[in-house]
Amino acid sequence: MTAFLIAEVKVTDDAWVPDYAARVHDIAAKHGGRYLSRSGNIDTLEGQPTDETLIALIQFPDRASAHAFANDPEYAPFGKARQDGSVSHFRVIDDTDLAGAIPYLPKP
């Protein structure tokens, strides 16, 4: 079942960004990951705006692949650099419809 990693990042020290941006997409691809977006163009349509600098959306074949990417030893130094130079949240969701009302999405 398709899974999406949502990375919400507030950069506090951008020293890590160039190397991360140049290399991490290849590590994600090794696990079947494909960036759908990595953007700082964030509009809040509802609720209080948050202070993320960027949000990335990465599609994986399944949850296990997203977890394998995040736990890959090759990714570890990049993840540590990101954690040290930002406030970040990584979340994984799948493509199910919790309410079961959208016909083209799988039901949980």
DSSP string, 26-81: HHHHHTT-EEEEEES-----SS-----SEEEEEEESSHHHHHHHHT-TTTHHHHHH
Query: Mean pLDDT across the chain, nearest whole number?
Result: 96
Nearest Cα residue to 71 out of 5, 18, 9: 5
CATH of 3-42+51-94, one of 3.30.70.20, 3.30.70.100, 3.40.50.2300, 1.10.443.10: 3.30.70.100
What are the tokens at 52? 């993320």
The pLDDT, as a whole number, for residue 98 is: 84
Q: Does the model's pTM come out above 0.75?
A: yes
| Sign of the torsion angle spanned by Cα atoms 101, 98, 60, 7 | positive
At 16-67, the pLDDT tens digits run 999 999 999 999 999 999 999 999 999 999 999 999 999 999 999 999 999 9
Nearest Cα residue to 57 out of 42, 31, 36, 29: 36
CA distance 19 to 43: 27
The residue extents of the domains of the chain are: 3-42+51-94
Nearest Cα residue to 83 out of 70, 92, 94: 70
